[in-house]
Chains A and B, each alone.
Chain A
Amino acid sequence: MSEISAENLHLWRGEVHVLRGLSFSLEAGQCLQVSGANGSGKTTLLRALCGLLPLERGRVYWRGADIASDPSLYHGQLSYLGHENGLKGDLTVSENLHYGTGLRRGLRSGELSAALASVELPGYAGMPLRWLSAGQRRRVALARLTLMDAPVWILDEPASNLDSTGQQLLLGLLERHLHSGGAAVVATHQELRLEAGRLQSLSLQ
């Protein structure tokens, strides 16, 4: 059974028929890379996969079940990273991570520092987020992603603002996620060098 699949998705944004009969099927341990020019509908597709956008036609399935039938259950298994980080500048890094994951699960001691170490921001826990650069904030968002411990990742341009080290980090996190049985849908121009058989591609016109 596929982890996440889409069947004949149609979506209009105003007058524009953005998604036209799109379908795909993704197994656990696989990553779907979505590419396309600006305005081709990458963000729209990802948000529709999250259930944030209503579909005119077509369905999205998670482990065989229509996501519209039990959205809360699906969302509990999903981690979304959009263009915005969803972090608060007035809180410290650790507060952000604590409140971000606290909506889903309690953090065990040491998890937070381990997550920060995995994105190469050790010792930044007490720093107000406002003082971090855009790239560092993106890394904090990635740390939150790992802490949420969800099997499905939907990432929209996750490498934006990241330097080459950051991009390598992202790749490493993605590989680890796929290796442990997770699935991911990633909209990015970055070349994703993953293990054979793990990568699917979807190009939007």
Chain B
Amino acid sequence: MAWVWFHRFGSPPYFYRVARRLTPWLGWPALILGVAGLIGGLGLAPPDYQQGDGFRIIYVHAPAAWLSLMIYVVMATSAAVGLIWRMNVAHAVAASCAPIGASFTALALATGMLYGRPMWGTYWQWDPRITSELLLLFLYLGYMALRAAFDDVARADRASAVLAIVGVVDVPIIHYSVIWWNSLHQAPTVMKFGRPSMPASMLVPLLLMLAGFSLYFGALLLTRARGEVLRRERNAHWISAALEES
């Protein structure tokens, strides 16, 4: 039963229709959760006893960082699906993930830098989280650069899929090697928010923001992927019918 659903999703017109209908169901809740999270985080949560109001940037930074990593996994998984089952839709999804993931990574880096300024006085520190995010950004950029270098979209799909799979295996290793490297040199770490030790008033808005960001990613991905599928299938018959529908 699941296989049937899986293969139906691989059909471009089916994916296009379902994605179009699903997007508002992700987008509006994302907005609501995001607003709720921001109100809770920026307004209602008490200031941190150590860091004052400056810590509030984590309400954007932490979800962005978490998402930047999750998107890479989603990208690698759909690329692998596309490679194994030769599914064009899966490759389109992977291609759509990359710029979104890179943007979230850049956001995590920017907010990390903004956080650093009031905390240690400099915009940049080689803290493990920021360094990891920087390397992840390079991985995303490399993926997009490899895609762009191939003229033939099908070859670009397959080559970048191989890269994404190798990358997703290496990402945990890179992450832990950076943490290990950092622990040796006692460089300052930026955020030691241990989740269990956070009071609910701080934690709940964070989780709301995380959920909101994730749903936003979903909506964004479906929108981009629809555009990608449209571009790839532009010579196919079902396009005119689908466009009349919308």
Residues of A within 8 A of B (CB): 12-14, 54
Contact = CB atoms under 8 A, between A and B. Distances in A.
Interface of B: 86, 151-154
A14 B154 CA distance: 7
Nearest to A14: B152
A147 B151 CA distance: 38
Contacts of B151: 14
A178 B153 CA distance: 40
A73 to B, nearest CB: 22
Contacts of B154: 12
A13 B150 CA distance: 12
A75 to B, nearest CB: 20
B198 to A, nearest CB: 51
Nearest to B153: A14
6 contacts: A12-B154, A13-B152, A14-B151, A14-B152, A14-B153, A54-B86
Contacts of A12: 154
A12 B86 CA distance: 14
Contacts of B153: 14
A8 to B, nearest CB: 17
Contacts of B152: 13-14
Nearest to A17: B235
A124 B153 CA distance: 45
Contacts of B86: 54
A79 B86 CA distance: 28
Smallest CB-CB A-B distances: 6 pairs = A14-B152, A14-B151, A13-B152, A12-B154, A14-B153, A54-B86
Nearest to B150: A14
A12 B154 CA distance: 9
A12 B152 CA distance: 10
A109 to B, nearest CB: 44
A41 to B, nearest CB: 15
A14 B151 CA distance: 7
